[in-house]
Amino acid sequence: MTLFRKLWSFAYPGFSFSHFHRVMATRTLSVMPLGNVTLPSAISEALALTLIAQGAEAQIYFSVEHPFIPATYLTGTNSQPSAGYILKYRPPKRYRHNALDAQLTKHRTLSEARILYKLFLAGISVPQLIAVDPRQGLIWMENIDGQSLKSWIWAQETEMEERQVDEGEDAQAQKRVHIIKPVLLAVGSEIAKLHFLETVHGDLTTSNVLLRDSSRVEAITVTFSDKPMVKDPVIIDFGLAQQSTLPEDKAVDLYVLERAFISTHPIHSEEYVEWVLEGYVAGFGRGKKTAMFKVNEIMRKLDAVRLRGRKRSMVG
């Protein structure tokens, strides 16, 4: 890692890693696409699109404009000002056989769109599905205006550290309970709703949970003694999501999230995971008897997964 950093700063003098991470986390930096993978020209010529994220599988573009509702009519239908739109594009992979590539792109795009729509109908907070083009690997959805859980926690921690001098350890711990805990309880309960519908996310990390700005979190940080306001967590990126009735798969989802907490927020990760799980257990099926049985089973599996890691044992 240190060698990598040295090489990197050699290649890009003046480049700061922490800055890079912060900017990535707020999802505003446009990353140059690797190679010349670009959107179908009919779309890029018609709309002004900004690349905001790039993964191995897809590119995420931001558009101020809706794909089919002109701006003048948009204000008429929605009372809230629009936060823009997201276009997720799975570019063709040249190293795959054309026929196979087309089939995989179509299959994955549709699978993601179907799950997104199903969850939306079930009242889980996910981005609204606007349009799909399975042949070209395109999904249009609404943009969520807000920080990722990861960068939000970072921001909270940084602020608390800065005040450490005049407040001390105890006050900080109490602040975490008042500010971060309610948000993590809500996150856990949202994941529980998802799992209760026998859907697993497949890539549950602190970057794939966004906090919608509907209820202002500034209110929490300022009014310490008052009842804190909870942000509205929205789960994104269902590219690896699946239907599954197995407690095992749900436990793996939770385990992946736990690992994400440990690697991004190492100091208080134990506390954070505990709160998420508390919200999860409380939110799972809302006290139905069969749900209690299921959630106990998932928690048991989670202990097993912790011991052996995400992958199932291939021995025996």
Tally of CB atoms within 10 A around 205: 18
Nearer to other proteins, 131 or 155 (CB): 131
Nearer to other proteins, 82 or 269 (CB): 82
* Among residues 9, 78, 164, 243, the one that binds other proteins under rule CB under 8 A: 78
Gap between the Cα atoms of 112 and 243, Å rounded: 11
* Among residues 36, 77, 225, 290, the one that binds other proteins under rule CB under 8 A: 77
Stretch that binds other proteins, among 66-74, 164-172, 179-187, 254-262 (CB under 8 A): 66-74
Least spacing, CB of residue 87 vs other proteins, in Å? 10
Helical (H) or strand (E) element with 119: helix 98-121
Sheet of strand 129-133: strand arrangement? 49-54, 59-63, 85-89, 138-142, 129-133
What are the structure tokens assigned to 147, written together? 């920080």
Q: At what angle do helices 164-196 and 149-162 cross, to 10 degrees?
A: 160
Any contact of residue 133 with other proteins (CB under 8 A)? yes
Cβ-contact 171, 225 below 8 angstroms: no
Is 133 assigned a catalytic role?
A: no
Gap between the Cα atoms of 265 and 101, Å rounded: 38
Any contact of residue 69 with other proteins (CB under 8 A)? yes
Nearer to other proteins, 20 or 73 (CB): 73
Stretch that binds other proteins, among 124-132, 195-203, 231-239, 241-249 (CB under 8 A): 124-132
Any contact of residue 84 with other proteins (CB under 8 A)? no
Any contact of residue 47 with other proteins (CB under 8 A)? yes
SS3 43: helix
Least spacing, CB of residue 74 vs other proteins, in Å? 8
Gap between the Cα atoms of 4 and 220, Å rounded: 39
* Among residues 25, 129, 191, 220, the one that binds other proteins under rule CB under 8 A: 129
* Among residues 39, 51, 113, 254, the one that binds other proteins under rule CB under 8 A: 113
SS3 237: coil
Stretch that binds other proteins, among 27-35, 76-84, 229-237, 296-304 (CB under 8 A): 76-84
* Among residues 1, 42, 165, 222, the one that binds other proteins under rule CB under 8 A: 42
Residue 2, classified by CB atoms within 10 Å of its CB into exposed (0-12), middle (13-18) or buried (19+), is exposed
Any contact of residue 153 with other proteins (CB under 8 A)? no
Gap between the Cα atoms of 131 and 113, Å rounded: 9
Cβ-contact 109, 139 below 8 angstroms: yes
* Among residues 57, 65, 145, 271, the one that binds other proteins under rule CB under 8 A: 65
Instruction: State the residues that interact with other proteins by CB under 8 A.
Output: 42-43, 46-47, 65-71, 73, 76-79, 110, 113-114, 117, 120-121, 128-136
